[in-house]
Structure 1
Amino acid sequence: MVTYRIEKTSKGWAMFRARKFRPVAEAEAKEELIKMAAQILAGSQVAVRVQSANGAFQELRL
Protein backbone atom coordinates (compact mmCIF):
# COMPACT_ATOMS: atom_id res chain seq x y z
CA MET A 1 0.00 0.00 0.00
CA VAL A 2 1.33 3.40 -0.99
CA THR A 3 1.29 6.18 1.61
CA TYR A 4 0.83 9.88 0.86
CA ARG A 5 1.06 12.85 3.20
CA ILE A 6 -0.70 16.20 3.08
CA GLU A 7 1.14 19.02 4.81
CA LYS A 8 1.44 22.80 4.94
CA THR A 9 4.08 24.40 2.71
CA SER A 10 5.22 27.97 2.10
CA LYS A 11 2.86 28.14 -0.92
CA GLY A 12 -0.20 26.65 0.82
CA TRP A 13 -0.79 22.89 1.06
CA ALA A 14 0.77 19.99 -0.84
CA MET A 15 0.38 16.23 -1.17
CA PHE A 16 3.55 14.15 -1.31
CA ARG A 17 4.12 10.45 -1.93
CA ALA A 18 5.95 8.70 0.94
CA ARG A 19 9.69 9.48 1.04
CA LYS A 20 9.41 11.91 -1.89
CA PHE A 21 9.95 15.66 -1.85
CA ARG A 22 8.26 16.68 -5.12
CA PRO A 23 4.53 17.35 -4.57
CA VAL A 24 1.94 15.31 -6.44
CA ALA A 25 -0.63 18.10 -6.04
CA GLU A 26 -0.73 21.60 -4.53
CA ALA A 27 -3.52 23.97 -3.46
CA GLU A 28 -3.96 27.12 -1.41
CA ALA A 29 -6.51 25.60 1.00
CA LYS A 30 -6.31 22.25 2.78
CA GLU A 31 -9.94 21.38 2.00
CA GLU A 32 -9.34 22.02 -1.70
CA LEU A 33 -6.30 19.75 -1.68
CA ILE A 34 -8.19 16.96 0.08
CA LYS A 35 -10.86 17.08 -2.64
CA MET A 36 -8.14 16.96 -5.33
CA ALA A 37 -6.47 14.04 -3.57
CA ALA A 38 -9.74 12.10 -3.49
CA GLN A 39 -10.08 12.53 -7.25
CA ILE A 40 -6.44 11.69 -8.00
CA LEU A 41 -6.35 8.61 -5.76
CA ALA A 42 -9.85 7.27 -6.49
CA GLY A 43 -9.83 3.52 -7.00
CA SER A 44 -6.37 3.07 -5.48
CA GLN A 45 -5.54 1.41 -2.19
CA VAL A 46 -3.57 4.12 -0.42
CA ALA A 47 -3.13 5.64 3.01
CA VAL A 48 -3.17 9.41 3.34
CA ARG A 49 -1.77 11.15 6.41
CA VAL A 50 -3.14 14.64 6.96
CA GLN A 51 -1.12 17.00 9.14
CA SER A 52 -2.39 20.12 10.88
CA ALA A 53 -0.91 23.54 10.11
CA ASN A 54 1.63 23.22 12.96
CA GLY A 55 2.92 19.89 11.60
CA ALA A 56 1.29 17.63 14.19
CA PHE A 57 -0.35 14.44 12.95
CA GLN A 58 -4.04 15.17 12.46
CA GLU A 59 -5.60 12.08 10.93
CA LEU A 60 -5.09 9.04 8.73
CA ARG A 61 -7.56 8.22 5.97
CA LEU A 62 -7.70 4.94 4.07
Structure 2
Amino acid sequence: MVTYRIEKTSKGWALFRARRFRPVAETETKEELIKVAAQILAGSKVAVRVHNANGTFQELRL
Protein backbone atom coordinates (compact mmCIF):
# COMPACT_ATOMS: atom_id res chain seq x y z
CA MET A 1 0.00 0.00 0.00
CA VAL A 2 1.34 3.41 -0.98
CA THR A 3 1.13 6.28 1.50
CA TYR A 4 0.44 9.90 0.56
CA ARG A 5 0.40 13.00 2.73
CA ILE A 6 -1.48 16.28 2.53
CA GLU A 7 0.50 19.24 3.90
CA LYS A 8 0.44 23.03 3.95
CA THR A 9 2.99 24.66 1.64
CA SER A 10 3.99 28.24 0.86
CA LYS A 11 1.64 28.18 -2.16
CA GLY A 12 -1.36 26.58 -0.43
CA TRP A 13 -1.84 22.83 0.08
CA ALA A 14 -0.14 19.90 -1.65
CA LEU A 15 -0.44 16.13 -2.00
CA PHE A 16 2.87 14.28 -1.73
CA ARG A 17 3.74 10.62 -2.18
CA ALA A 18 5.61 9.10 0.78
CA ARG A 19 9.30 10.06 0.98
CA ARG A 20 8.99 12.38 -2.03
CA PHE A 21 9.34 16.16 -2.13
CA ARG A 22 7.71 16.92 -5.49
CA PRO A 23 3.94 17.38 -5.10
CA VAL A 24 1.50 15.22 -7.05
CA ALA A 25 -1.13 17.99 -6.89
CA GLU A 26 -1.41 21.51 -5.45
CA THR A 27 -4.41 23.72 -4.65
CA GLU A 28 -5.10 26.89 -2.69
CA THR A 29 -7.36 25.27 -0.07
CA LYS A 30 -7.28 22.03 1.86
CA GLU A 31 -10.87 21.16 0.90
CA GLU A 32 -10.08 21.50 -2.83
CA LEU A 33 -7.02 19.31 -2.44
CA ILE A 34 -8.96 16.55 -0.70
CA LYS A 35 -11.43 16.49 -3.63
CA VAL A 36 -8.59 16.42 -6.18
CA ALA A 37 -6.77 13.69 -4.23
CA ALA A 38 -9.92 11.56 -4.15
CA GLN A 39 -10.16 11.79 -7.95
CA ILE A 40 -6.46 11.06 -8.52
CA LEU A 41 -6.30 8.14 -6.09
CA ALA A 42 -9.70 6.58 -6.88
CA GLY A 43 -9.49 2.82 -7.29
CA SER A 44 -6.03 2.56 -5.71
CA LYS A 45 -5.14 0.99 -2.38
CA VAL A 46 -3.54 3.95 -0.63
CA ALA A 47 -3.34 5.58 2.77
CA VAL A 48 -3.54 9.36 3.01
CA ARG A 49 -2.18 11.22 6.05
CA VAL A 50 -3.80 14.61 6.48
CA HIS A 51 -1.87 17.26 8.43
CA ASN A 52 -3.05 20.51 10.04
CA ALA A 53 -1.71 23.87 8.88
CA ASN A 54 0.79 23.87 11.77
CA GLY A 55 2.20 20.50 10.65
CA THR A 56 0.69 18.30 13.34
CA PHE A 57 -0.92 15.03 12.32
CA GLN A 58 -4.68 15.35 11.89
CA GLU A 59 -5.91 11.97 10.62
CA LEU A 60 -5.23 8.96 8.46
CA ARG A 61 -7.75 8.19 5.72
CA LEU A 62 -7.89 4.87 3.96
Question: Which portions of structure 1, spanning 4 or more consecutive aligned residues, are displaced by more than 3 angstroms?
Answer: none
TM-score by length of 2: 0.99
Q: How much does 1:14 deviate?
A: 0.2
TM-score by length of 1: 0.99
1:52 matched residue in structure 2: 52
How many residues end up aligned between the 2 structures? Answer: 62
Identical columns (%): 85
Report the alpha carbon displacement of residue 53 of structure 1 after superposing the two structures with TM.
0.3
Two-structure CA RMSD over aligned residues (Å): 0.2
- TM-superposed CA distance for 1:37, in Å, is 0.1
Unpaired segments ≥5 residues, structure 1:
none
Q: Could you list the runs of 5+ residues in structure 2 that have no partner in the other structure?
A: none
In 2, distance between residues paired with 1:60 and 1:34? 12
